[in-house]
Chain A
Amino acid sequence: DQQVKQNSPSLSVQEGRISILNCDYTNSMFDYFLWYKKYPAEGPTFLISISSIKDKNEDGRFTVFLNKSAKHLSLHIVPSQPGDSAVYFCAASATRETSYGKLTFGQGTILTVHP
């Protein structure tokens, strides 16, 4: 039962253009969402998050959009840089559940930004 899905295994973008990574979820109890970035041979690194009371959160070149009715979120990177090339994981949490320490991750999307 894949509660968080990233349907695009990979994405290729030209440097300077926008990268859009998508994520869908099925569990309506999820109320907190995060994006992590992972380089090879390293652990995931937190990138940006959004609470379900918002529909947008921005941090520099990174913006996350949340559409609760569609159970969909997306990460926009503008402008994309070669150093952004990594695996991006979407994750969700149901903070009202007793096991609030748990994050449910998607399968990841490999982003490649070409110079």
Chain B
Amino acid sequence: DSGVTQTPKHLITATGQRVTLRCSPRSGDLSVYWYQQSLDQGLQFLIQYYNGEERAKGNILERFSAQQFPDLHSELNLSSLELGDSALYFCASSVTGQMNTEAFFGQGTRLTVV
């Protein structure tokens, strides 16, 4: 158990819908990262928050948004869903803003868009 909690574990929804994925970081970790893993792909960096503020942005679509709340949990909002958005979405957390040995991943949320 990495200490990073992601909910829900599985999500099936229809095209055009909107979903929210939730991540609770490890106790004491200030930084949250979101990654997307599509079929047969490596993990693609989406966005990073550090202590409530956006720190870094990757290839995140405009239809996607995220935020980190005062209690440090984070939510990733995906809207106008398309079939191609089906993927595993991972959240990771670390104490610092650096994604290195200190980062711990959650189990992921598997999103299926039908």
Contacts and interface: CB of A to CB of B under 8 A. Distances in A.
B48 A42 contact: no
Contacts of A93: 99-100
Q: Give the contact-size bracket for chain B.
A: 20 to 34
A4 B45 CA distance: 13
A98 to B, nearest CB: 7
Q: Interface residues of A: mostly helix, strand, loop or mixed?
A: loop
Interface stretch (B13-21, B68-76, B104-112): B104-112
Contacts of A89: 42-43
Interface residues of A, number: 27
Contacts of B48: 99, 101-102
A45 interface: yes
A66 interface: no
B105 A32 contact: no
A108 B88 CA distance: 14
Contacts of A4: 42
Given A93-B99, A101-B31, A107 B42 contact: yes
A102 B42 contact: no
A43 interface: yes
Contacts of B58: 99, 102
Contacts of A101: 31, 33, 48, 50, 55-56, 97-99
A4 to B, nearest CB: 7
A115 to B, nearest CB: 27
A49 B101 contact: yes
A96 to B, nearest CB: 12
A105 B106 CA distance: 16
A102 B99 CA distance: 7
B105 A49 contact: no
Given A44-B105, A100-B56, A100-B97, 14 more contacts: A41-B107, A43-B2, A43-B106, A44-B43, A49-B101, A89-B43, A91-B43, A95-B98, A100-B98, A101-B56, A101-B97, A101-B98, A105-B43, A107-B42
10 contacts: A34-B101, A43-B90, A43-B106, A46-B104, A95-B98, A99-B56, A100-B56, A104-B45, A107-B40, A107-B41
